[in-house]
Amino acid sequence: MTGADKSTTGADVLPVLRSLTELAELVERDERLFVRWSRGPEADLREAAASTDDLTGVSMPGLSANPLDVEPWWQDRSTELWVARRLHDYSHLPREKGPGVRPWILVGREVGRGPDNEPLVRDVEPVGWIDEDVIAQAEREIAGQAARWGPLRRAR
């Protein structure tokens, strides 16, 4: 990872992606990348690499994550805008899930779908943390679009 430094959270020592451009370049190079909003790989992998449905408490067969692969219908549009949209969609999670929740990138194998149709992944390999400033960059990218977008969690 070019230009990325290391971040230590417990035993997690992962590169930190510091720009939307750097994240977009990673997405263009690698497939099967997902973003997960949690307290990090150390906590997730300690909990048997399974998410729990918040509504029912049911344990799911993998970690809930969101794919970063660019879909073919996106055509030749900016990968930075694609990644900004993927981050923006779930930017409410740190506020909703509490302290220590932040986005990180992983490679994984999809094993099913969660209750919100999100991929559930196993065989997780942590790739890196996403710096808070990347989220701010994503928000600015989205704000510059003609259409009004909102995160998936909208105020009632």
Closest by alpha carbon to 49, among 62, 38, 40? Answer: 62
pLDDT tens figures, 71-89: 999 999 999 999 999 999 8
Unique residue bearing structure tokens 């259409």: 147
5-9 vs 102-113, strand pairing mode: unpaired
Beta-carbon count within 10 A of 144 CB: 9
Residue 154 pLDDT: 46
Residue 148 pLDDT: 67
Q: Which two tokens stand for residue 52?
A: 């729990």
Q: What is the DSSP letter of 53?
A: -
Q: What are the per-10-residue average pLDDT scores of the chain (156 residues)?
A: 44 84 96 93 82 90 95 96 91 78 95 94 95 94 78 49
- Assign 4 to helix, strand or coil: coil
Residue 49 pLDDT: 74
